[in-house]
A and B are shown apart, each in its own frame.
Chain A
Amino acid sequence: MLQKKVCMLGSFSVGKSSLLRRFVENMFDEQYHTSIGVKVDKKVVNVSGKDLALVLWDIYGEDAFQKMRMSYLRGMHGYVLVVDGTRRQTLDDALALNERVVSEIGKVPALLALNKFDLSDQWEIEQARETQLTAAGWTIAHTSAKTGDAVEKAFLHLAQLMLAP
């Protein structure tokens, strides 16, 4: 079966792990997060009749105290940049992080997940900004780890991007 290494990137507490919990088979304890800063999960998806194993590296969110280990990203085939849609700052941080990633790893398929879409009344990201991002080449998914909305679809989409020649 074809396999792809996918990393989950984003600031602290934007809901990366929650998104994964919606989606994957768990094997390792959440403790790995806090100890070595990464937790590995797996999900098999079916893209146009072919099985694809996504090995998902859920990387501990960056915060003031912990910088992300770039070395975890080596060899990844794609990544999901997760943003908390109710905190505009997390989008800015994510885009800054993305720049570092691109410069270090190079360009690989990526998806921008605007998470916590269920909290639409607290939404801080304007439509104009989204349009701008789409124009810049981002594929945007409005996800909600709480309701599960669009989560599967987002990962499927990324899988398709990674399989594209």
Chain B
Amino acid sequence: MAKLNMVQALNLALRQEMERDQSVVVLGEDVGRDGGVFRVTDGLLDQFGEARVIDTPLAESGILGTSIGMALGGLRPVAEMQFCGFSYLMLPQLEGHASRYRSRTHGRYTVPLVVRVPYGGGVRALEHHSEAPETFYARIPGVKVVVPSGPRNARALLVSAIRDPDPVVFLEPKRSYRAFREEVPEEEETLPIGRAQVVTDGTDLTLVSWGAMMRPALQAAEAVRQRRGASLEVLDLLTLAPLDVATLVASFRKTGRGVVVQEGPRTLGPAAEIIARVNDDALSFLEAPIRRVTGWDVVTPYFQREEAYLPSAERIERAIEETLDDK
């Protein structure tokens, strides 16, 4: 098995899916000759040619709108939005059409496509390059939202997303692109969309996160485990929509306590929804209020101020300790 970073793992998924299925095409700004600004599509143009690896004009609505047409016409487009901060320009096409053709035609016409969106902070970029906007996408009925946290699950989830019958917004945490490597098997691997993963089993507290926040979350869990021997259950959501409520509820029923970690602003974020769903089905099992560690309700700062804004392992650790100490 090769040790790959997330960029290489995503590239592997795209290459293998394009080899397997002639209808898979890649399109976006600078995805061809340049291989994408993060190099996720590196080498694809040479291997598959201009008809299947399409450098598009600079227009995000145009990229998604034409992808919808391609999907209706039998292709499996994988579109790239260059940065999350520019992805809002695709929102009318996503909400107005990609998410609705199936429902509008009762399945006669469907839109199986993937939109890859580099998202989140931690790469010290300029304004509009660091937001975590999953909340805009995860509440659109008819759209699936997937967030990998490491190279291996990124590869497996992207393969699943390409084969999925629905539009999938695939949020790639920029900070995790090259942060670490994992063994990624050459042979095919998929992961089910809509299913969270239990990273570590535990009985005292459930720690929930996704994407780039998984690393500080796991660090914090390890620190608390070592300091006081607590048994922590860590969940990696992997899919934000549709939410894997069953796994969440089962875990909170077992532990009775929990912390949810979210990179984006606090208001109306996935953490709020997760807590509400747990309250629906596991309130009587709870021994303490569920805490949130989130970004703040301010415009996401960049460069020098960014690190201070992002939830840190220390903040998460403190929230875990407080929740464990709640009487």
Q: Do A and B come from one complex?
A: no
Q: Which positions in B face A, CB cutoff 8 Å?
A: none
